[in-house]
Amino acid sequence: MKKVSISFTLNGDEVTAEVPPSWTLLKTLREYFELTGAKEGCGAGECGACTVIIDGEAVNSCIYPIPEVEGKSVTTIEGIAGKDGTLHPLQKAFIENNGVQCGFCTSGMIMSAKSLLDRNPAPTRDEIRKSIAGNLCRCTGYVQIVESIEKAAEMIKGAK
């Protein structure tokens, strides 16, 4: 099978992947880099479990062709904690406010929420709900997730 060489920034590091051009970003993350935080739920851009951030924008990595990642900056759930292991406020808030139940949607939820908070540090509840409209959770009923994101926004504001 033909392979292509794709260079990009992954969680702050310059990396190169040698993978078939028909691979998606999600498959490359999980099977080439062994970063399994982003999940495959539907594989069709419906559920958001595979959400990562590319150049500041949340995208579904399951339908993102790997050749399009060349030269871009990708952030996954594995890249948002500090180098010393300090959790990101979103991670802390999800743990403390029961934003996690089975956990399958969690990394996608957090990445969607991060792309929101990075540009809008004080979102309304409606803005939060719209930002995670593309992330399905079958456990929580979303209430604790929305609360977790609100708490994270407060933590980020308090830290500044």
Partner 1 sequence: MMDYDYMKPASMKEVFTLLKEYGPKATLIAGGTDVMVNIRNRELSPEVLISLRGLHELRYIRKNDGYHIGALTTHRMLEQSDMVKGELSALHDAASQLGSVQVRNVATVGGNICNAAPSADTAGPLLALDATVVLEGPDGRRSVPIADFFTGPSKTVRKGDEVLVEFHIPEAPGRFGSAYWKHARRRAMDLPLLGLAVGLALSESREIFDARIGLTVAAPVPMRAHKAEEFLKGKPLEAEVLEEAGEIASSEASPRDSLRSKAWYRREMIAVFVPRMVRLAAERIRDK
Residues that bind partner 1 (CB under 8 A): 1-2, 4, 20-22, 24, 43-46, 48, 51, 57-60, 63-65, 67-68, 112, 115, 130-131, 133-136
Which DSSP symbol is given to 120?
Answer: -
Q: Minimum distance between the CB of residue 51 and partner 1, rounded to whole angstroms?
A: 6
Q: Burial of 77 by CB count in 10 Å (0-12 exposed, 13-18 middle, 19+ buried)? A: buried
Least Å distance, CB 133 to partner 1, is 3
Q: Where are the beta strands (DSSP E) in the chain?
A: 4-10, 13-19, 51-54, 57-60, 73-75
C-alpha–C-alpha distance, residues 79 and 30, integer Å: 14
Nearer of residues 22 and 86 to partner 1, judged by Cβ = 22
Q: How far is the CB of 117 from partner 1 (least distance, A)?
A: 13
Q: Which is nearer to partner 1, 65 or 141 (CB)?
A: 65
Q: Parallel, antiparallel, or unpaired: how do β-strands 73-75 and 51-54 relate? A: antiparallel
Smaller CB distance to partner 1: residue 72 or 92?
A: 72
> Which residues are registered as beta bridge partners of 53?
58, 75
Q: In the bound complex, what is the minimum distance in angstroms from residue 2's beta carbon to partner 1? A: 7
Cβ–Cβ < 8 Å for 65, 71? no
CB-nearer residue toward partner 1: 84 or 126:
126
